[in-house]
Structure 1
Amino acid sequence: MTTPSAMATASGVDHRSLRSLRRWNLGLTVLHAAQAVVVLVLASDFAITVTTSLPTGPPGTPPEAPEAFFDVPIGGAIAVFLALAALDHGLTATVLRDRYETGLRAGINRFRWVEYSVSATLMVVLIAFYTGITGFSAVIGIAGANVGMILFGWLQEAANPPGRAATTMKAFWFGCVAGAAPWVAIGYNILSAETVPGFVYGIFASLFVLFSSFAVNQWLQYREVGPWRSYAFGERAYLVLSLVAKSALAWQIFAGSLAG
């Protein structure tokens, strides 16, 4: 078996870039944690109820009317979303720094995908809530599709180690298919509703762009477009997106909770 030390090092990953990335991670830890605290302080008691609707007879029998299952406090959920990002950056800058940097040299950041699989899934579920998708079974399906998308991102990195003879994008495109499913459901609900405030369309479009920016970054990284030829540059771009995109996602959803 090839040991990590015998493997090629990802482009751009050197002592200087690793020191810079550590500073970024420390800074993002503070900024995300501070935002989580602010959200908790400002949060109202607004919550969305997840419902269940179970079969009452043989196949084809109309299901029972939806019943309340549990409530999700939106302010608390957004604070958890931001806290997960803070935890990820904090751990990779401190106690897990050696493993994080070893992974970067090998062209992979497993911690990123673990955190995204939870935080990004939480956020897309909240977006679905805002468009009326609150059935427990539907929520499970949306969450599962989003987790699958994130894990395909992990597989994309694992399948393309430094020094590879060729780059495969199969995992990336498979992830795009899985990740599209929640947005099709969300978009359908928005377009099919009889009355939707105009600003909802703007929020949907902006959230979709912000969510997609992470996939665009990976595509640029593995197509080695311009500065993305450096794996370290792509990692830094993920950190920038972690601050800008995650903050924008969180505050737009939070603003909706205050309006609610």
Structure 2
Amino acid sequence: MTTNKNTSNETKFRGLRRFNLIMGFLHLLQGVFMWIVSNDTVYPIFTNYLSFDTSTFSLNPVAKLFYELPLGPSVAIFLLLSAIAHFYLASAGYENYINNLKQGKNPVRFYEYALSSSLMIVLIGMLAGVWDLGAIILMFGLNAMMNLLGLLMESLNQDRKKLDWSPFTFGSIAGIIPWLVIFIYFFGSIASGGEAKPPAFVYAIIPTLFVFFNTFAVNMWLQYKKIGPWKDYLYGERAFIVLSLVAKTVLAWMIFAGTLAPV
């Protein structure tokens, strides 16, 4: 019986190797396409400094252009980061990947998410009007911390009968804050009236990606609650891989269709 189970697991592991390889190519092809074909749209990043107004004897904020972020390469990068991670897991990192999966964890997943999904949240924020350097750094950092707390959740709960949910809880709190900022800017732009509203495609991106981002947390919750097919950690691993591809693909092509497609 044990031999059959081990054989079944080995088959699943080999399947995951092929799966990661396929996903790597899907991310790579999209990333290269976005980098090469996208137009030269840029989004501004500003810093705000205090300036003393001698006429009113008061301090006033002054915005200064810090950098113009090329949107096409930025979209390509979060796709290419995933491609690199998948290729690594399917090649040089495969043995370590399998050893970690047997322990119910995948650190590479969370390191990659800490970079790729944090870039994604920054781009979504910029589409909603979050153009301040400080806000962008904080959004990136909080989202990265959310993913690192996901890694901590897996590391702390190895073979524990009573789970420690604190990393999951704190990670959820950290992860929701960038979305609160996005919604404040998004609804603020709408409420202000006039022509300073987000482009039409942003109305679709924000709710869609909000759902996708939260689905990752649901997948982890189901893994640790061992509900239905999630009793098998490898089922949740495949779900993470599929969710990552779908979320990145949806965001990339929505942005491409909305603003990056060549005229």
Output the TM-score relative to the length of structure 2: 0.88
Map 1:47-58 to 2 at 5 A.
Answer: 47-56=42-51
CA contact (8 A) 1:12 1:233 kept: no
Residue 218 of structure 2 aligns to which amino acid in structure 1? Answer: V
SS of 2:60's equivalent in the other structure is coil
Among 166, 179, 201, the alignment partner of 1:183 is 179
How many residues are paired up?
A: 247
Aligned equivalents of 2:70, 2:50: Cα separation in 1: 28
Name whichever structure is richer in strand by fraction: 2
Paired position in structure 2 for 1:236 = 238
* 1:255 to partner: Cα distance: 2.5
Aligned equivalents of 1:90, 1:238: Cα separation in 2: 16
Aligned equivalents of 1:152, 1:170: Cα separation in 2: 9
Output the TM-score relative to the length of structure 1: 0.89
CA contact (8 A) 1:117 1:147 kept: yes
Paired position in structure 1 for 2:55 = none
Aligned equivalents of 1:38, 1:198: Cα separation in 2: 23
In structure 2, relative to structure 1, the CA distance for the partners of 1:30 and 1:259 (3 Å cut) is closer
Q: Percent identity?
A: 39
Paired position in structure 1 for 2:26 = 31
SS of 1:92's equivalent in the other structure is helix
Paired position in structure 1 for 2:94 = 97
Compare relative contact order (CA 8 Å, sep 6+) and give the higher one, 1 or 2. 1
SS of 2:130's equivalent in the other structure is coil
CA contact (8 A) 1:12 1:232 kept: no
1:28-85 Cα offsets, whole Å, 9 max, x none, are: 011110111111232000010111111235xx82222x11111111110111111000
1:118-155 Cα offsets, whole Å, 9 max, x none, are: 00000000001011111111111111111111111111
Paired position in structure 2 for 1:63 = 61
Among 15, 21, 25, the alignment partner of 2:16 is 21
Among 201, 209, 212, the alignment partner of 2:211 is 209
Residue 177 of structure 1 aligns to which amino acid in structure 2? Answer: I
CA contact (8 A) 1:146 1:179 kept: yes
Residue 88 of structure 2 aligns to which amino acid in structure 1? Answer: L
CA contact (8 A) 1:113 1:151 kept: yes
Residue 186 of structure 2 aligns to which amino acid in structure 1? Answer: I
RMSD: 2.1
Residue 192 of structure 1 aligns to which amino acid in structure 2? Answer: G
Paired position in structure 2 for 1:192 = 188
Aligned equivalents of 1:236, 1:18: Cα separation in 2: 11
In structure 2, relative to structure 1, the CA distance for the partners of 1:12 and 1:171 (3 Å cut) is farther
Aligned equivalents of 1:124, 1:244: Cα separation in 2: 15
SS of 1:69's equivalent in the other structure is strand
Task: Give structure 1 stretches of 5+ with no counterpart.
Answer: 1-10
Instruction: Look at both structures and tell me which one has the larger radius of gyration over its CA atoms.
Output: 2
1:170-192 Cα offsets, whole Å, 9 max, x none, are: 11111110001100000011111
Paired position in structure 1 for 2:258 = 256
CA contact (8 A) 2:149 2:167 kept: yes
Aligned equivalents of 1:140, 1:202: Cα separation in 2: 24
Paired position in structure 2 for 1:139 = 136
CA contact (8 A) 1:13 1:105 kept: no
Aligned equivalents of 1:41, 1:204: Cα separation in 2: 25
* 1:198 to partner: Cα distance: 5.4
Residue 244 of structure 1 aligns to which amino acid in structure 2? Answer: V
Aligned equivalents of 1:171, 1:253: Cα separation in 2: 32
* 1:200 to partner: Cα distance: 3.2
Aligned equivalents of 2:66, 2:100: Cα separation in 1: 41
CA contact (8 A) 2:35 2:72 kept: yes
2:156 counterpart of 1:154: no
Residue 61 of structure 2 aligns to which amino acid in structure 1? Answer: P
1:203-230 Cα offsets, whole Å, 9 max, x none, are: 2111111122211111111111110011
